[in-house]
Homo-oligomer: A and B are copies of this chain.
Amino acid sequence: MTTPPRNPWVLAQRAHKMNPSVIREILKVTERPGIISFAGGLPSPKTFPVSAFAEACDKVLREDAHAALQYAASEGFVALREMVAASLPWEVDPAQVLITTGSQQGLDLVAKVLIDAGSRILVETPTYLGALQAFSPMEPDVVAVASDDQGVNIEDLKRKAPGARFLYVLPNFQNPTGRTMSEARRAALSEAAAEAGLPIIEDNPYGDLWFDAPPPAPLTARNPEGCIYLGSFSKVLAPGLRLGFVVAPAALYPKLLQAKQAADLHSPSFNQRMVVEVMKDGFLDRHVPTIRALYKSQRDAMLAAMKREMPAGVEWNTPDGGMFLWARLPEGCNAVDLLPQAVDKGVAFVPGAAFYADGGDPRTLRLSFVTASVDQINTGMVALAAAIREYQRDLAPATVEG
C-alpha cells in the first residue's frame, strides 16, 4: 500500500480569490469588551420586536407547526410573498417575489444567473462590500462607475455600459456612504440604462429607514422589466431570522428560482411564518417609525459629537436615513493606519478602502450611528478625535521630511 498523498485537495480557481471579509476580521478585533464600535452594520437591538416575535412563535407552533417545520416551496411562503408584493410602490405580482435567506443570498443568486467568468459588471464608487464578495465567486470583471453624492455619474456610466451584464446600485442611504441618489439622478440613470440596454440590480435594505421624508421612487418602479430588486427584513424586523426577498421580471424568475433551490432548497419555513404573523395588521406601519426616530436621534448625536470633537480638516456627510455616515480624514492620512490607534483608545470604525472595487480613497471611513447608544457615541467620538490627533502628530515628521 502506498502512502496517501498529504493534500489531495485541488481548489477551484475562484477559491484562490476568496479572501476573508476585511469588515468581519475587524469586527472580530473590535468585539472585545469595552470597545465602542462604529464599525459593524448591526441594527440596534432595541428595535427588535421581541414580544411580537414571542407571540408569533407561540401562534405558529400552536396552529401551524407541521407546515412551519416541514420542507416547503423554494419560492417562499405564499402569504409572505403576497405581503411583500403589496408593500412595494409599483405593481408587483406575488409570483415575481422570491423569498431568500437574507438579501445577501439574492446577490449570490443574481451572480449565478447573470455572471460568466470575465463578464463586465458595473458598481458604484464605493459600493457594498458584501455584493463584491457575492459576485466574486463567479469571476466577473468588476468595473467601478464614478459616483458623487447624488449617485453614479451618468456620463461615466454611458462610457462603461456597453457589454456590461448589469449595474449594481444601492440608491437609498447607501452602505457604506449613507448617501441617497437624487430624483434627478434616478431619472437620468433609468433613462440611460434603458437606452443602453443595461439591466439594473437595485439593492434596497435601508429604504424604509428615512428620517424626514421618504427617498425618491425605486429605479425598479420606473422600469420593472429592466431591474431586479432586492429587499430585506433585517433592518425593519431583525437580521437573525435571515429573511430577504428578490423581485424579478417574469423572464428571469425561473432561473433565479432554480439557483435558489440548488443553493438551500428554501428559506426557513418557520421564520417565514413568524414574520407573516408579526407583520399582520399593519405592524410595520407602527414599528418602523420608532426605528426611524431612534436612528435619527443617534445620527444627530453623532453629527453633534463630530462637530464638537473632530480636529480641523476632518469632513463628513449628513445622511438622510439608514445606518451609516461617511467621513474623510485630512490630507495625508490613511484610515487603515489610524484604526489600530483608535482601537487602542477604545473605538472602532471601518476604513473606507474596503468598499472600493478598485483601490479607493484611503482617507475615508464608515461610521455606523445605530449600534452604539448616544452615551457611547459621545464617549467614542472623544476617543476617535484623540486618536486622529495623535495619529496626525505621529505623521508630522514624515510630512516635514516629505
Contact = CB atoms under 8 A, between A and B. Distances in A.
Nearest to A195: B2
B223 A24 contact: no
A20 interface: yes
Contacts of A54: 57-58, 61-62
Contacts of A61: 50, 53-54, 57
Interface in A251-292: 251-252, 254-255, 257-259, 261-271
Interface in A196-231: 197-199, 223, 225-226
Given A50-B61, A240-B72, A240-B270, A114 B9 contact: yes
A338 interface: no
A85 to B, nearest CB: 21
A258 B48 contact: no
A108 interface: yes
Interface in A55-75: 57-58, 61-62, 65-72, 74
Interface in A310-352: none
Interface stretch (A37-45, A146-154, A174-182, A359-367): A37-45
Interface stretch (A87-95, A98-106, A301-309): A98-106
Contacts of A7: 225, 251
Contact of A115 (B12, B115, B225): B12
A238 interface: yes
A386 interface: no
B69 A50 contact: yes
Nearest to A244: B264
Contacts of A265: 102, 104, 130, 242
A113 B252 CA distance: 26
Nearest to A14: B112
A50 B65 contact: yes
Contacts of A294: none
A160 interface: no
Given A1-B195, A57-B57, A57-B58, A24 B68 contact: no
A378 interface: no
A112 B240 contact: no
Contacts of A249: 9
A262 B70 contact: no
Given A8-B197, A251-B7, A263-B108, A65 B48 contact: yes
Which of A100, A102, A114, A262 has its CB near the most chain B CB atoms (within 10 A)?
A262
Contacts of A69: 45, 48, 50, 53, 238-241
10 nearest A-B pairs in the assembled complex, by CB-CB distance:
A4-B194, A69-B238, A240-B269, A45-B66, A57-B57, A18-B258, A69-B240, A133-B262, A5-B197, A8-B197
Interface of A: 1-2, 4-5, 7-15, 18-21, 24, 40-43, 45, 48, 50, 53-54, 57-58, 61-62, 65-72, 74, 100-102, 104-105, 108, 112-117, 119, 130, 133-134, 136-138, 165, 191, 194-195, 197-199, 223, 225-226, 234, 238-242, 249, 251-252, 254-255, 257-259, 261-271
